[in-house]
Amino acid sequence: MPNAATLDEVLAPLLADPARAAVLLDIDGTLAPIVRHADDAHVPEPTRAPLIKIAKAYGLVACISGRQAATARRIVSLGSITYVGNHGAEILRGGQTTPEIAPEIAEWARRVRAFGEGELRGEELHRLRVRGEDKDVIFGFHWRGAPDEEAAEEAARGVAARAEDAGFVTHWGRKILEVRPPVDLNKGLGIKTLLEDAAGGLDVALYAGDDRTDVDAFDALRAAVASGVLKSCVCIGVSSGDETPVELSDAADILVDGPLGVRGVLETLAG
């Protein structure tokens, strides 16, 4: 994690006027430690405590996740903030119970699910203990913790080839393959929607994330600055040791050390 002076410097624009600042956060590997089984993920209470304070003081606080928005809310356990789920496919606003899903994306849900479930019925993935995750309009294949992770990843590459032949789009993350509909879908689109909804009420925004998909969020914030929607932004990369994507390191304004580093950022913002 960078020294305190450096961190204070990059956070200064948010601390100067929290009411006109946005705090946007990835969840897995950022707020919540990476776990072997995705269903076991949760945000530790020492991280939730400053996040709760931030939610009350800052102009916009939201979590941007590759998971479904409702699942993201369960992991964070904070109902007052907004959740952008499935890499921008859905938005679950604070206090609401039903996410907003774009019709052109929702119509792909059945086809994506059918493909994913069909692949999981195959003998090879079962033998290699590749796990499926049905995220409605996205289907994930996980191999973290599999007995032979290299063999499991190779099997996932076969799944990716078949998915692309079937007209789907594939995306690789940290020991996960995602099969997606062939429409624009990334965290940056979700962030663009949130900033548009804020309608000039924000001057600065921070985003923190740990994976390749989070670079799209960085790009969206920088585009907002270039177009005059924001005056400035802060892009924080969350280091995960040897698994840290080069793309993330290269694109980040600053790196912090894992979820504990993010907790330090939140504690500073909470004051």
What are residue 58's phi and psi, to 5 degrees? Answer: -100, 155
Residues 133 and 92 in one domain: no
- Please indicate whether residue 250 is annotated as part of the active site: no
Domain of residue 251, CATH code: 3.40.50.1000
**Is a pLDDT exceeding 70 seen at residue 87?**
yes
Residue at a domain's end among 140, 163, 180: 180
Residue 183's pLDDT band, with cuts at 50, 70 and 90, is confident
Q: Residue 2 has what pLDDT?
A: 43
What is the pLDDT, as a whole number, of residue 101?
86
Q: What is the pLDDT of residue 106?
A: 81
Which one from 26, 211, 214, 216 is the annotated catalytic residue?
Answer: 26
Q: Of all residues in the chain, what percent carry a pLDDT higher than 90? A: 80
Give the domain-ending residue among 130, 159, 180. Answer: 180
In this structure, what CATH number is given to the domain that contains residue 148? Answer: 3.30.70.1020
Q: What's the average model confidence in pLDDT over 82-91?
A: 92
At 226 the pLDDT is: 98
Given this model, what pLDDT does residue 231 score? 97
225 and 146 share one domain: no
One domain for residues 33 and 160: no
Residue 270 gets the label, from left (phi > 0), alpha (psi -120 to 50) or beta, of alpha
Higher pLDDT, 225 or 86: 225
Per-residue confidence (pLDDT) for residue 200, from 0 to 100 = 86
> Residue 245 sits in which domain range?
4-103+185-270
Residues 146 and 198 in one domain: no
Q: What is the pLDDT of residues 185-216, one digit of tens each?
A: 889 989 999 999 998 899 999 999 999 999 99
pLDDT (mean) for 93-120:
90
Q: Say if residue 144 is in the same domain as residue 204.
A: no
What is the number of structural domains in the chain?
A: 2
Check residue 76 and give its pLDDT.
Answer: 97
SS (H, E, C) the chain: CCCHHHHHHHHHHHHHCHHHEEEEECCECCCECCCCCHHHCCCCHHHHHHHHHHHHHCCEEEEECCCCHHHHHHHHCCCCCEEEEHHHCEEECCCCCCCEECHHHHCCHHHHHHHHHHHHCCHHHHHHCCEEEECCCCEEEECCCCCCHHHHHHHHHHHHHHHHHCCCEEEEECCEEEEECCCCCCHHHHHHHHHHHHCCCCCEEEEEECCCHHHHHHHHHHHHHHCCCCCEEEEEEEECHHHCCHHHHHHCCEEEEHHHHHHHHHHHHHC
Per-residue pLDDT tens digits for 27-49? 999 999 988 887 788 999 999 99
Tell me, yes or no, whether 169 and 195 share the same domain.
no
Question: What's the pLDDT tens digit per position in 50-68?
Answer: 999 999 999 999 999 989 9
- Give per-residue pLDDT as tens, 143-179: 999 999 999 999 999 999 999 999 999 999 889 999 9
Same domain membership, residue 260 and residue 214: yes
Domain shared by 55 and 153, yes or no: no
Mean of per-residue pLDDT scores for the chain = 93
pLDDT at 1 over 50: no
Tokens 């995220």 map to which residue?
135
Which residue in this structure is represented by tokens 């923190």? 208
